Structure 1
């Protein structure tokens, strides 16, 4: 997935996601955020979140953004589980994707968020993703 500039002021989320197995509640979720240090380098474990029942938890964390993603990636059903397949987005308004139930307050700075999905039963790694986030002070743009 990537962010694409639609015009001078609007951005959209594009890309694809491929599921080889159903994305359901038999999967565990781990989010580990590292903070960029003042002299460079990443300081791991700035924020850590672990949960079982990944599909239900992701749906809960995404809040109303879940339905925007479901429509944008053309999933056939907004409920868990998400069936195996390739799902492609031709563009989702980024403002709709940012309206989540994730914590609203963070210390400013640069973060590297690593998300890992594992099988709950045996810890087998199923997939992961890394995203860089830049949290600005309210008066910065």
Structure 2
């Protein structure tokens, strides 16, 4: 397994399942902007505040050598979901907040419907994720469980390639 410095290529964004019963509804997707560029569009509906009382669970599955997903390749769980997302995504958080027209850059984010007409994915590169990572295709599932872990409050899936810096 090879690893090193990398760049990411976001290939898909979609809800884990129907968001109808979720209190944090992520109805986002990628839209082709140009021959080579995509943007993140859609809406986010928060029926409850997105704040530090929530937990964040990131579970990354890696595309297997014969196809299919190998679950739990990388798992990260933390409390204080809002602050941790802001810290992990750093400058991307600012673009995300502006793109979805949240009322405030800081936590908590108030309940409401937030709509993006398009966030340029070419700008979504400056994060606090590890600077060295294993190359390959990943399915990253971001889940926000309730504090007692009984209810799934929200969930979104990102499919991305982790590429060598010179690859396209």
Same fold (TM over 0.5): yes
TM-score, normalised by the number of residues in structure 2? 0.77
Matches within 5 A, 1:42-121: 42-120=69-147
CA distance in 2, matches of 1:36, 1:9: 23
**Which residue of 2 is the match for residue 20 of structure 1?**
47
Greater RCO, CA 8 A, separation 6+: 2
Q: Please give the alpha-carbon distance, in whole angstroms, between the structure 2 residues aligned to 1:104 and 1:80.
A: 26
TM-score normalised to the size of structure 1?
0.91
> Which whole-Å deviations, capped at 9, do the CAs of 1:42-75 have from their partners, x for residues lacking one?
1111111000000000010110111111111111
Q: For residue 32 of structure 1, what is the aligned residue in structure 2? A: 59
Q: Distance in 2 between matches of 1:95 and 1:140?
A: 15
Cα distance in 2 between the residues matched to 1:7 and 1:61: 28
1:138 aligns with 2:165: yes
**SS at structure 1 position matched to 2:98:** helix
1:13 and 1:104 mapped to 2: Cα distance?
23
Displacement of 1:103: 1.9
Residues 70-112 of structure 1, C-alpha deviations (whole Å, 9 max, x = no match): 1111111111111111100011121222322122322221111
Number of residue pairs matched? 140
Structure 1, unaligned runs of 5 or more: none
Unaligned runs of 5+ in 2: 1-27
